[in-house]
């Protein structure tokens, strides 16, 4: 019995150290400071909201939510920025730098870059019309980053099968339901032609007029137009809503890993539910975002509070 209790405590102790009021005394202005920078960045470029959410996702899936994705390469390590899932793809580092410098002015040496990512991703969702939630805080920053860990397949590729998606998320403590809800973040953001070319030319579970429209800006020839962008949600690309799921029902998912969620498999019913019930989608999305933010954070005396998000102190 005692062993079981220790195991249960051990598994939840890290997330238990995160709390919604972690900075209530040490940096009460952290939320308003982060929000104003995110608001400004997203009003300049709506896509930035999606980019900040994705940064948080790619940070948390590699060695936990520790801000490691923000570190530039040094002489002693090659970081995560140039790994396959991130290279020429993740963006928004300049916005994080801007947030960090503003937060440092208000309360120097207090707020971690890992927590800034968690707050900025929530703010992005809210600003684009999605649900609000209280972010758990108290993460500390890693002193290193791992190119090989980011490249190891922990971040599911856009070519993933349904079982691969389910397994990759389960490996991080997230259920199939969490995975489908989090995929709903593709209601915002854009993808590059090189990522969806195979789908629009080779797959059959795709609306033909949708495929043709995408082909107009994404040539079949590899190396031609690779970086041309298309919205992940063709309906309302800058609004956080349920249109992503409606697209899947209509075979208008842009990525293979989107459409596979509604393709005769175990997640079809969830896609239908989220399409018809915004409240359920928002509720499950929030639950999943909080769970994702709980993935192996550094707390207590582990890690550090970086002064500059791009380099260890």
Residues 6+ apart with CB under 8 A from 281: 181, 184, 242, 245, 273, 274
DSSP 8-state symbol, 71: P
Question: In degrees rounded to 5, what are phi and psi of residue 271?
Answer: -60, -45
For the chain, the distance separating the N- and C-terminal CA atoms, rounded to the nearest angstrom, is 43
Q: How far is CA 104 from CA 23, 68, 233, in A?
A: 13, 19, 36
Would you please indicate which residues are annotated as catalytic (active-site) residues? 58
Contact 75, 308 (CB under 8 A): no
CA dist list (Å): 92 to 98, 113, 211: 10, 13, 29
């Amino acid at each position: 019995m005692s062993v079981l209790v220790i195991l249960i405590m051990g598994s939840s102790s890290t997330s238990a150290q995160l709390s919604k009021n972690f900075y209530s005394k040490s940096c009460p202005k952290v939320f308003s400071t982060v929000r104003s920078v995110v608001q400004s960045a997203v009003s300049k470029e709506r896509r930035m909201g999606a980019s900040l959410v994705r940064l948080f996702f790619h940070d948390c899936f590699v060695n936990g939510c520790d801000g490691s994705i923000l570190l530039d390469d040094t002489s002693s390590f090659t970081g995560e920025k140039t790994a396959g899932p991130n290279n020429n793809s993740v963006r928004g580092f300049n916005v994080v730098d801007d947030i960090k410098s503003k937060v440092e002015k208000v309360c120097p040496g207090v707020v971690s870059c890992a927590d800034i990512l968690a707050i900025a991703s929530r703010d992005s969702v809210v600003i684009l019309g999605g649900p609000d939630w209280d972010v758990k805080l108290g993460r500390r920053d890693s002193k290193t980053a791992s190119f090989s860990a980011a490249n190891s397949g922990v971040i599911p590729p856009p070519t993933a099968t349904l079982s691969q998606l389910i397994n990759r998320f389960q490996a991080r403590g997230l259920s199939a339901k969490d995975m489908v809800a989090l995929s709903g973040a593709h209601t915002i953001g854009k993808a590059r032609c090189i990522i969806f070319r195979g789908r629009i030319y080779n797959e059959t579970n795709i609306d033909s007029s949708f495929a043709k429209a995408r082909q107009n800006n994404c040539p079949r020839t590899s190396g031609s137009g690779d970086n041309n962008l298309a919205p992940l949600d063709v309906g309302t690309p800058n609004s956080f809503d349920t249109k992503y799921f409606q697209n899947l029902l209509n075979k208008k998912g842009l990525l293979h890993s989107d459409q596979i969620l509604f393709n005769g498999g175990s997640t079809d019913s969830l896609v239908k539910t989220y399409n018809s019930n915004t409240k359920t989608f928002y509720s499950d999305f929030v639950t999943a975002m909080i769970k994702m933010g709980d993935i192996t954070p550094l707390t207590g005396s582990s890690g550090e509070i970086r002064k500059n998000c791009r380099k260890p102190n």
